[in-house]
Chains A and B, each alone.
Chain A
Amino acid sequence: MNRSHYKLFHQKYNVIVVGGGPAGTTAAKYAAKSGAKVILFERDPVIGIPARCGEGVSKRGIKGFVPLKGPWIVNRLNQVELIAPDGNSIKLETSLIGYVLDRTKFDKVLGDYAEAAGARIVTEADVTNLIKNNGRVTGVRVNYKGSDYEVSGDIIIGADGVESRVGRWAGIKTMTKLDNMESALKINATNIKINPAACLFYFGREVAPGGYLWVFPKDAHHANIGIGISGNYSREKPAKYYLERFMGKYFPHVEWTNVVAGGVPCNPPLKQLTMDNVMLSGDAGHQVNPLTGAGIANALQAGKFAGEIAGEALRSPDPIDSSLKMYTKRWYRARGKHHKSNTRLKNAVNKLDDDKLNELARLMNKIPRNEWSFLKIFLLAIRSSPDLIIDCMKVFRKS
Protein backbone atom coordinates (compact mmCIF):
# COMPACT_ATOMS: atom_id res chain seq x y z
CA MET A 1 0.00 0.00 0.00
CA ASN A 2 1.20 3.44 -0.96
CA ARG A 3 2.08 5.57 2.08
CA SER A 4 0.29 8.72 0.89
CA HIS A 5 -2.84 6.72 0.08
CA TYR A 6 -2.69 5.23 3.54
CA LYS A 7 -2.58 8.70 5.06
CA LEU A 8 -5.41 9.96 2.86
CA PHE A 9 -7.79 7.12 3.59
CA HIS A 10 -6.92 6.35 7.20
CA GLN A 11 -8.23 9.45 8.81
CA LYS A 12 -11.70 10.31 9.89
CA TYR A 13 -13.74 12.75 7.86
CA ASN A 14 -16.75 14.76 8.93
CA VAL A 15 -18.39 14.47 5.52
CA ILE A 16 -17.85 11.90 2.77
CA VAL A 17 -19.41 12.92 -0.57
CA VAL A 18 -19.97 10.18 -3.13
CA GLY A 19 -20.04 11.53 -6.69
CA GLY A 20 -18.39 14.54 -8.33
CA GLY A 21 -21.21 16.02 -10.39
CA PRO A 22 -22.75 19.44 -9.67
CA ALA A 23 -24.63 18.19 -6.59
CA GLY A 24 -21.60 16.47 -5.07
CA THR A 25 -19.06 19.23 -5.63
CA THR A 26 -21.51 21.89 -4.42
CA ALA A 27 -22.33 19.88 -1.31
CA ALA A 28 -18.58 19.42 -0.67
CA LYS A 29 -17.98 23.14 -1.10
CA TYR A 30 -20.66 24.26 1.34
CA ALA A 31 -19.82 21.59 3.91
CA ALA A 32 -16.12 22.54 3.76
CA LYS A 33 -17.00 26.23 3.97
CA SER A 34 -18.79 25.58 7.23
CA GLY A 35 -15.61 24.10 8.67
CA ALA A 36 -16.19 20.39 8.07
CA LYS A 37 -13.40 18.06 6.99
CA VAL A 38 -14.66 16.83 3.63
CA ILE A 39 -13.55 14.18 1.15
CA LEU A 40 -15.28 13.60 -2.21
CA PHE A 41 -14.94 10.38 -4.20
CA GLU A 42 -15.50 10.36 -7.95
CA ARG A 43 -15.54 7.11 -9.90
CA ASP A 44 -14.27 8.55 -13.20
CA PRO A 45 -10.71 9.81 -13.75
CA VAL A 46 -11.76 13.42 -14.41
CA ILE A 47 -14.52 15.55 -12.88
CA GLY A 48 -17.04 16.45 -15.60
CA ILE A 49 -16.40 13.58 -18.03
CA PRO A 50 -18.61 12.06 -19.32
CA ALA A 51 -21.34 14.71 -19.20
CA ARG A 52 -24.63 12.84 -19.09
CA CYS A 53 -26.53 16.01 -19.74
CA GLY A 54 -28.17 18.23 -22.34
CA GLU A 55 -26.16 21.18 -21.00
CA GLY A 56 -29.01 23.68 -21.25
CA VAL A 57 -29.72 25.79 -18.17
CA SER A 58 -31.53 28.98 -17.14
CA LYS A 59 -29.78 32.04 -15.76
CA ARG A 60 -31.59 31.68 -12.45
CA GLY A 61 -30.46 28.07 -12.19
CA ILE A 62 -26.74 28.81 -12.06
CA LYS A 63 -26.66 32.38 -10.74
CA GLY A 64 -24.76 32.54 -7.47
CA PHE A 65 -22.96 29.26 -8.13
CA VAL A 66 -20.68 30.21 -11.02
CA PRO A 67 -19.93 33.57 -12.69
CA LEU A 68 -22.23 34.15 -15.66
CA LYS A 69 -19.20 34.81 -17.83
CA GLY A 70 -16.51 32.20 -18.29
CA PRO A 71 -15.42 29.26 -20.44
CA TRP A 72 -18.17 27.05 -18.93
CA ILE A 73 -20.78 29.10 -20.83
CA VAL A 74 -20.51 28.36 -24.53
CA ASN A 75 -23.67 29.99 -25.83
CA ARG A 76 -26.51 32.32 -24.90
CA LEU A 77 -29.97 31.55 -26.21
CA ASN A 78 -32.69 34.16 -26.64
CA GLN A 79 -35.15 32.27 -28.82
CA VAL A 80 -37.09 29.10 -28.26
CA GLU A 81 -39.07 27.14 -30.80
CA LEU A 82 -41.62 24.54 -29.72
CA ILE A 83 -42.41 22.27 -32.64
CA ALA A 84 -45.73 20.41 -32.78
CA PRO A 85 -46.00 16.98 -34.38
CA ASP A 86 -47.39 18.47 -37.63
CA GLY A 87 -44.37 20.78 -37.93
CA ASN A 88 -46.14 23.97 -36.87
CA SER A 89 -44.11 25.80 -34.31
CA ILE A 90 -44.51 28.34 -31.57
CA LYS A 91 -41.66 30.82 -31.51
CA LEU A 92 -40.72 32.90 -28.54
CA GLU A 93 -38.05 35.52 -28.18
CA THR A 94 -36.85 37.22 -25.03
CA SER A 95 -33.68 38.95 -23.93
CA LEU A 96 -32.32 35.69 -22.51
CA ILE A 97 -33.85 32.21 -22.48
CA GLY A 98 -30.82 30.51 -21.03
CA TYR A 99 -27.31 29.23 -21.55
CA VAL A 100 -25.68 26.23 -23.13
CA LEU A 101 -22.96 24.98 -20.82
CA ASP A 102 -19.78 23.08 -21.36
CA ARG A 103 -20.36 20.62 -18.56
CA THR A 104 -16.73 19.49 -18.57
CA LYS A 105 -15.59 23.00 -17.69
CA PHE A 106 -18.63 23.73 -15.55
CA ASP A 107 -18.12 20.66 -13.37
CA LYS A 108 -14.40 21.35 -13.18
CA VAL A 109 -14.87 24.87 -11.87
CA LEU A 110 -17.38 23.60 -9.29
CA GLY A 111 -14.74 21.06 -8.24
CA ASP A 112 -12.16 23.85 -8.02
CA TYR A 113 -14.49 25.83 -5.74
CA ALA A 114 -14.93 22.80 -3.49
CA GLU A 115 -11.17 22.34 -3.25
CA ALA A 116 -10.65 26.05 -2.63
CA ALA A 117 -13.10 25.77 0.27
CA GLY A 118 -10.95 22.98 1.71
CA ALA A 119 -12.60 19.79 0.44
CA ARG A 120 -10.38 16.97 -0.78
CA ILE A 121 -11.37 15.48 -4.14
CA VAL A 122 -10.20 11.99 -5.09
CA THR A 123 -10.91 10.72 -8.61
CA GLU A 124 -10.77 7.13 -9.86
CA ALA A 125 -12.25 6.25 -6.49
CA ASP A 126 -15.25 3.95 -6.79
CA VAL A 127 -17.34 3.67 -3.65
CA THR A 128 -18.42 0.03 -3.59
CA ASN A 129 -20.47 -0.08 -0.39
CA LEU A 130 -21.29 1.57 2.91
CA ILE A 131 -19.69 0.34 6.12
CA LYS A 132 -22.23 -0.33 8.84
CA ASN A 133 -21.73 -0.96 12.54
CA ASN A 134 -24.80 -2.08 14.47
CA GLY A 135 -26.96 -0.87 11.60
CA ARG A 136 -25.41 2.59 11.55
CA VAL A 137 -23.36 3.83 8.61
CA THR A 138 -19.84 4.66 9.78
CA GLY A 139 -18.08 5.11 6.46
CA VAL A 140 -17.63 3.85 2.93
CA ARG A 141 -15.68 1.13 1.23
CA VAL A 142 -13.80 2.56 -1.72
CA ASN A 143 -11.80 1.02 -4.51
CA TYR A 144 -9.00 3.36 -5.47
CA LYS A 145 -6.84 2.38 -8.43
CA GLY A 146 -7.41 -1.31 -7.81
CA SER A 147 -7.03 -1.39 -4.02
CA ASP A 148 -9.81 -1.43 -1.45
CA TYR A 149 -9.88 1.00 1.46
CA GLU A 150 -12.26 1.72 4.30
CA VAL A 151 -12.82 5.39 5.02
CA SER A 152 -14.83 6.53 8.01
CA GLY A 153 -17.01 9.61 8.23
CA ASP A 154 -19.75 11.18 10.34
CA ILE A 155 -22.05 12.11 7.46
CA ILE A 156 -22.33 10.50 4.01
CA ILE A 157 -23.76 12.53 1.12
CA GLY A 158 -24.83 10.34 -1.81
CA ALA A 159 -24.62 12.43 -4.97
CA ASP A 160 -24.04 9.39 -7.12
CA GLY A 161 -26.56 10.06 -9.83
CA VAL A 162 -29.64 8.30 -11.09
CA GLU A 163 -28.64 4.85 -9.86
CA SER A 164 -28.46 6.21 -6.30
CA ARG A 165 -26.51 3.26 -4.95
CA VAL A 166 -25.72 5.06 -1.69
CA GLY A 167 -29.46 5.57 -1.16
CA ARG A 168 -30.19 1.92 -1.77
CA TRP A 169 -27.42 0.72 0.51
CA ALA A 170 -28.69 3.07 3.21
CA GLY A 171 -32.23 1.75 2.86
CA ILE A 172 -33.85 4.81 1.27
CA LYS A 173 -36.48 3.86 -1.28
CA THR A 174 -35.02 5.41 -4.40
CA MET A 175 -36.36 2.99 -7.00
CA THR A 176 -37.90 4.82 -9.93
CA LYS A 177 -40.98 3.34 -11.53
CA LEU A 178 -40.55 2.56 -15.20
CA ASP A 179 -43.16 5.13 -16.26
CA ASN A 180 -41.43 7.88 -14.27
CA MET A 181 -38.05 7.20 -15.82
CA GLU A 182 -37.04 8.94 -19.02
CA SER A 183 -34.76 6.91 -21.25
CA ALA A 184 -32.39 9.43 -22.77
CA LEU A 185 -29.67 9.75 -25.37
CA LYS A 186 -27.54 12.68 -26.46
CA ILE A 187 -25.19 13.32 -29.37
CA ASN A 188 -22.89 16.14 -30.46
CA ALA A 189 -23.70 17.28 -33.99
CA THR A 190 -20.57 18.69 -35.60
CA ASN A 191 -21.32 20.06 -39.07
CA ILE A 192 -24.85 21.28 -38.66
CA LYS A 193 -26.21 24.59 -39.99
CA ILE A 194 -28.36 26.13 -37.34
CA ASN A 195 -29.59 29.39 -35.82
CA PRO A 196 -27.22 29.70 -32.85
CA ALA A 197 -29.64 31.78 -30.78
CA ALA A 198 -32.57 29.34 -30.77
CA CYS A 199 -33.15 26.15 -28.84
CA LEU A 200 -35.61 23.77 -30.46
CA PHE A 201 -38.00 21.37 -28.78
CA TYR A 202 -39.86 18.72 -30.78
CA PHE A 203 -42.94 17.06 -29.34
CA GLY A 204 -45.20 14.17 -30.26
CA ARG A 205 -45.65 10.42 -30.04
CA GLU A 206 -43.85 9.95 -33.37
CA VAL A 207 -40.80 11.99 -32.38
CA ALA A 208 -40.40 11.31 -28.68
CA PRO A 209 -43.24 9.42 -26.97
CA GLY A 210 -43.75 10.54 -23.38
CA GLY A 211 -40.93 13.06 -23.62
CA TYR A 212 -39.39 15.44 -26.11
CA LEU A 213 -36.44 15.92 -28.39
CA TRP A 214 -34.21 18.95 -27.98
CA VAL A 215 -31.58 20.82 -29.97
CA PHE A 216 -29.25 23.14 -28.05
CA PRO A 217 -26.89 24.98 -30.41
CA LYS A 218 -23.37 25.69 -29.20
CA ASP A 219 -22.71 27.92 -32.22
CA ALA A 220 -23.90 28.07 -35.86
CA HIS A 221 -22.32 24.69 -36.66
CA HIS A 222 -22.35 22.67 -33.44
CA ALA A 223 -25.26 21.49 -31.33
CA ASN A 224 -26.20 19.09 -28.58
CA ILE A 225 -29.12 17.02 -29.78
CA GLY A 226 -30.88 14.68 -27.43
CA ILE A 227 -34.04 12.85 -26.63
CA GLY A 228 -35.90 11.55 -23.63
CA ILE A 229 -38.74 9.06 -23.99
CA SER A 230 -40.89 7.62 -21.25
CA GLY A 231 -40.02 4.18 -19.92
CA ASN A 232 -43.63 3.33 -20.80
CA TYR A 233 -42.79 3.48 -24.47
CA SER A 234 -39.20 2.36 -24.61
CA ARG A 235 -40.01 -1.35 -24.64
CA GLU A 236 -41.35 -1.01 -28.18
CA LYS A 237 -38.44 1.03 -29.55
CA PRO A 238 -35.46 2.46 -27.64
CA ALA A 239 -34.48 6.14 -27.45
CA LYS A 240 -31.65 5.38 -29.88
CA TYR A 241 -34.17 4.40 -32.57
CA TYR A 242 -36.11 7.67 -32.25
CA LEU A 243 -32.99 9.84 -32.24
CA GLU A 244 -31.54 8.13 -35.30
CA ARG A 245 -34.85 8.45 -37.11
CA PHE A 246 -35.04 12.14 -36.26
CA MET A 247 -31.49 12.79 -37.48
CA GLY A 248 -32.20 10.92 -40.71
CA LYS A 249 -35.30 13.03 -41.32
CA TYR A 250 -34.19 16.52 -40.23
CA PHE A 251 -30.38 16.50 -40.42
CA PRO A 252 -29.49 13.69 -42.82
CA HIS A 253 -25.98 14.89 -43.68
CA VAL A 254 -24.96 15.93 -40.21
CA GLU A 255 -22.10 14.05 -38.55
CA TRP A 256 -22.42 13.17 -34.93
CA THR A 257 -20.08 11.96 -32.27
CA ASN A 258 -19.99 11.33 -28.57
CA VAL A 259 -23.17 9.34 -28.03
CA VAL A 260 -24.07 9.42 -24.34
CA ALA A 261 -26.92 7.43 -22.79
CA GLY A 262 -28.75 8.38 -19.61
CA GLY A 263 -31.74 7.87 -17.39
CA VAL A 264 -33.63 10.83 -15.97
CA PRO A 265 -35.72 10.24 -12.83
CA CYS A 266 -38.92 12.29 -13.33
CA ASN A 267 -40.53 11.26 -10.06
CA PRO A 268 -42.69 13.00 -7.51
CA PRO A 269 -40.34 14.36 -4.81
CA LEU A 270 -38.80 11.75 -2.47
CA LYS A 271 -40.58 11.75 0.88
CA GLN A 272 -37.36 11.33 2.80
CA LEU A 273 -34.01 12.55 1.53
CA THR A 274 -32.07 11.29 4.53
CA MET A 275 -31.67 8.09 6.51
CA ASP A 276 -29.87 8.50 9.83
CA ASN A 277 -26.56 10.13 8.81
CA VAL A 278 -26.92 9.58 5.05
CA MET A 279 -28.20 12.35 2.74
CA LEU A 280 -29.05 12.20 -0.97
CA SER A 281 -28.48 15.04 -3.38
CA GLY A 282 -29.17 15.70 -7.07
CA ASP A 283 -30.42 12.93 -9.36
CA ALA A 284 -29.75 10.47 -6.52
CA GLY A 285 -32.42 12.29 -4.48
CA HIS A 286 -34.72 12.60 -7.52
CA GLN A 287 -34.13 16.36 -7.40
CA VAL A 288 -34.93 16.83 -11.06
CA ASN A 289 -37.64 18.97 -12.63
CA PRO A 290 -40.09 16.17 -13.51
CA LEU A 291 -41.67 18.13 -16.37
CA THR A 292 -38.50 19.08 -18.24
CA GLY A 293 -36.03 16.54 -16.91
CA ALA A 294 -33.67 19.42 -16.12
CA GLY A 295 -31.34 18.58 -13.28
CA ILE A 296 -28.49 21.09 -13.02
CA ALA A 297 -30.28 23.89 -11.17
CA ASN A 298 -31.90 21.45 -8.76
CA ALA A 299 -28.60 19.68 -8.15
CA LEU A 300 -26.83 22.93 -7.29
CA GLN A 301 -29.59 24.00 -4.91
CA ALA A 302 -29.80 20.55 -3.34
CA GLY A 303 -26.02 20.32 -2.99
CA LYS A 304 -25.94 23.68 -1.28
CA PHE A 305 -28.66 22.70 1.19
CA ALA A 306 -27.05 19.33 1.87
CA GLY A 307 -23.60 20.83 2.47
CA GLU A 308 -24.91 23.64 4.64
CA ILE A 309 -27.09 21.37 6.73
CA ALA A 310 -24.29 18.83 7.15
CA GLY A 311 -22.14 21.70 8.49
CA GLU A 312 -24.92 22.88 10.82
CA ALA A 313 -25.48 19.34 12.09
CA LEU A 314 -21.81 18.91 12.96
CA ARG A 315 -21.77 22.16 14.92
CA SER A 316 -25.10 21.58 16.63
CA PRO A 317 -25.24 19.99 20.11
CA ASP A 318 -28.19 17.89 18.91
CA PRO A 319 -27.63 14.38 17.50
CA ILE A 320 -26.50 14.52 13.86
CA ASP A 321 -29.33 12.34 12.57
CA SER A 322 -32.08 14.59 13.87
CA SER A 323 -30.33 17.73 12.57
CA LEU A 324 -30.07 16.24 9.09
CA LYS A 325 -33.84 15.79 8.90
CA MET A 326 -33.93 19.56 8.35
CA TYR A 327 -32.60 18.87 4.83
CA THR A 328 -35.84 17.31 3.57
CA LYS A 329 -37.83 20.13 5.16
CA ARG A 330 -35.68 22.85 3.62
CA TRP A 331 -35.86 21.20 0.23
CA TYR A 332 -39.66 20.90 0.36
CA ARG A 333 -40.00 24.51 1.47
CA ALA A 334 -37.87 25.69 -1.46
CA ARG A 335 -38.90 23.33 -4.25
CA GLY A 336 -41.63 20.98 -3.03
CA LYS A 337 -44.64 22.87 -4.36
CA HIS A 338 -42.99 23.48 -7.70
CA HIS A 339 -41.94 19.84 -7.96
CA LYS A 340 -45.43 18.57 -7.17
CA SER A 341 -47.20 20.87 -9.63
CA ASN A 342 -44.68 19.99 -12.34
CA THR A 343 -45.32 16.30 -11.70
CA ARG A 344 -49.03 16.86 -12.31
CA LEU A 345 -48.32 18.98 -15.36
CA LYS A 346 -46.09 16.24 -16.79
CA ASN A 347 -48.82 13.66 -16.33
CA ALA A 348 -51.35 15.89 -18.11
CA VAL A 349 -49.03 16.76 -20.98
CA ASN A 350 -48.17 13.11 -21.50
CA LYS A 351 -51.85 12.38 -22.02
CA LEU A 352 -52.09 14.76 -24.97
CA ASP A 353 -51.94 12.87 -28.23
CA ASP A 354 -50.48 14.35 -31.40
CA ASP A 355 -53.82 15.81 -32.59
CA LYS A 356 -54.26 17.70 -29.35
CA LEU A 357 -50.70 18.99 -29.40
CA ASN A 358 -51.22 20.23 -32.97
CA GLU A 359 -54.45 21.89 -31.92
CA LEU A 360 -52.80 23.57 -28.96
CA ALA A 361 -49.98 24.96 -31.12
CA ARG A 362 -52.52 26.25 -33.66
CA LEU A 363 -54.55 27.98 -30.97
CA MET A 364 -51.55 29.60 -29.36
CA ASN A 365 -50.30 30.97 -32.66
CA LYS A 366 -53.65 32.77 -33.11
CA ILE A 367 -52.86 35.03 -30.20
CA PRO A 368 -50.45 37.92 -30.85
CA ARG A 369 -47.26 37.41 -28.84
CA ASN A 370 -47.62 40.63 -26.86
CA GLU A 371 -51.01 39.45 -25.65
CA TRP A 372 -49.84 36.05 -24.49
CA SER A 373 -50.96 35.25 -21.03
CA PHE A 374 -51.97 32.05 -19.39
CA LEU A 375 -55.55 33.28 -19.00
CA LYS A 376 -55.86 34.26 -22.66
CA ILE A 377 -54.63 30.88 -23.86
CA PHE A 378 -56.89 29.21 -21.34
CA LEU A 379 -60.01 31.09 -22.53
CA LEU A 380 -59.23 30.52 -26.17
CA ALA A 381 -58.73 26.85 -25.58
CA ILE A 382 -62.05 26.55 -23.72
CA ARG A 383 -63.89 28.00 -26.71
CA SER A 384 -62.24 25.84 -29.32
CA SER A 385 -61.40 22.60 -27.67
CA PRO A 386 -63.17 21.95 -24.38
CA ASP A 387 -61.49 18.61 -23.74
CA LEU A 388 -58.08 20.31 -23.66
CA ILE A 389 -59.28 22.21 -20.66
CA ILE A 390 -60.30 19.06 -18.87
CA ASP A 391 -56.69 17.93 -19.18
CA CYS A 392 -55.48 21.28 -17.97
CA MET A 393 -57.84 21.21 -15.01
CA LYS A 394 -56.36 17.91 -13.94
CA VAL A 395 -53.04 19.65 -13.55
CA PHE A 396 -54.27 22.04 -10.94
CA ARG A 397 -56.60 19.68 -9.15
CA LYS A 398 -55.14 18.48 -5.89
CA SER A 399 -54.17 14.84 -6.24
Chain B
Amino acid sequence: MTKHIKPSHLEILPDICDLCGACIAVCPTNVMNIIHDKLFIDFEGCTYCSFCVDICPVRAIEECYN
Protein backbone atom coordinates (compact mmCIF):
# COMPACT_ATOMS: atom_id res chain seq x y z
CA MET B 1 0.00 0.00 0.00
CA THR B 2 1.24 3.46 -0.84
CA LYS B 3 2.00 5.80 1.99
CA HIS B 4 -0.74 8.29 2.69
CA ILE B 5 0.32 11.83 1.85
CA LYS B 6 -1.66 14.20 3.99
CA PRO B 7 -3.86 16.58 2.03
CA SER B 8 -3.80 20.30 2.73
CA HIS B 9 -7.58 20.48 2.86
CA LEU B 10 -10.68 18.28 2.86
CA GLU B 11 -13.74 19.36 0.96
CA ILE B 12 -17.23 18.01 1.64
CA LEU B 13 -19.47 17.66 -1.39
CA PRO B 14 -22.95 18.30 0.08
CA ASP B 15 -24.83 17.16 -3.03
CA ILE B 16 -23.22 13.73 -2.84
CA CYS B 17 -23.17 13.34 0.96
CA ASP B 18 -25.99 11.10 2.20
CA LEU B 19 -25.46 12.01 5.90
CA CYS B 20 -24.91 8.34 6.79
CA GLY B 21 -22.40 9.13 9.53
CA ALA B 22 -19.79 6.48 8.64
CA CYS B 23 -17.12 9.20 8.56
CA ILE B 24 -18.10 10.50 11.99
CA ALA B 25 -17.77 6.99 13.42
CA VAL B 26 -14.19 6.49 12.18
CA CYS B 27 -12.90 10.00 12.95
CA PRO B 28 -10.14 9.53 15.55
CA THR B 29 -10.21 13.15 16.72
CA ASN B 30 -13.98 13.56 16.81
CA VAL B 31 -14.07 16.71 14.70
CA MET B 32 -16.95 15.81 12.38
CA ASN B 33 -20.58 16.57 13.00
CA ILE B 34 -23.91 16.82 11.25
CA ILE B 35 -25.54 20.18 11.93
CA HIS B 36 -28.91 21.04 10.38
CA ASP B 37 -28.66 18.20 7.85
CA LYS B 38 -25.17 19.16 6.76
CA LEU B 39 -21.83 17.52 7.42
CA PHE B 40 -19.08 19.66 8.91
CA ILE B 41 -15.43 19.21 9.79
CA ASP B 42 -13.87 21.31 12.53
CA PHE B 43 -10.46 21.74 10.95
CA GLU B 44 -8.88 23.04 14.14
CA GLY B 45 -8.67 19.50 15.51
CA CYS B 46 -8.41 17.65 12.18
CA THR B 47 -5.22 15.66 11.62
CA TYR B 48 -5.94 15.05 7.92
CA CYS B 49 -5.69 11.28 8.39
CA SER B 50 -8.31 10.92 5.62
CA PHE B 51 -10.13 8.02 7.27
CA CYS B 52 -13.36 9.89 6.51
CA VAL B 53 -12.39 10.07 2.83
CA ASP B 54 -11.57 6.36 2.80
CA ILE B 55 -14.75 5.10 4.45
CA CYS B 56 -17.27 7.20 2.52
CA PRO B 57 -19.32 4.80 0.36
CA VAL B 58 -20.05 7.54 -2.19
CA ARG B 59 -16.83 9.57 -2.02
CA ALA B 60 -18.47 12.72 -0.73
CA ILE B 61 -15.24 14.03 0.83
CA GLU B 62 -12.40 15.09 -1.41
CA GLU B 63 -8.74 15.48 -0.60
CA CYS B 64 -7.25 18.73 -1.86
CA TYR B 65 -3.55 19.31 -2.36
CA ASN B 66 -2.03 22.72 -2.86
Contacts and interface: CB of A to CB of B under 8 A. Distances in A.
Contact of A261 (B18, B26, B27, B50): B18
B34 interface: yes
A131 B5 CA distance: 39
Interface string A153-172: 00000000111110010000
Interface string B17-44: 0101111111110100111100000000
B20 A262 contact: yes
Nearest to B27: A175
Nearest to A177: B26
B58 A261 contact: yes
Bin the interface of chain B by size.
20 to 34
A263 B20 contact: yes
Contacts of A128: 35
Contacts of A177: 26
Interface in B3-22: 18, 20-22
A175 B28 contact: yes
Contacts of B55: 178, 181, 183, 231, 234, 263
Contact of A162 (B20, B33, B36, B54): B20
B51 A178 contact: yes
Given A183-B56, A183-B57, A174 B22 contact: no
A238 B58 contact: yes
Contacts of B21: 161-163, 263
A235 B55 CA distance: 7
Nearest to A180: B26
A184 B57 CA distance: 6
Nearest to A128: B35
Given A234-B55, A234-B57, A262 B22 contact: yes
A111 to B, nearest CB: 20
Contacts of B51: 178, 231
Interface string A222-250: 00000000010011001110000000000
Interface of A: 52, 126, 128, 143, 161-165, 168, 174-178, 181, 183-185, 231, 234-235, 238-240, 259-263, 265
Interface of B: 18, 20-28, 30, 33-36, 50-51, 53-59
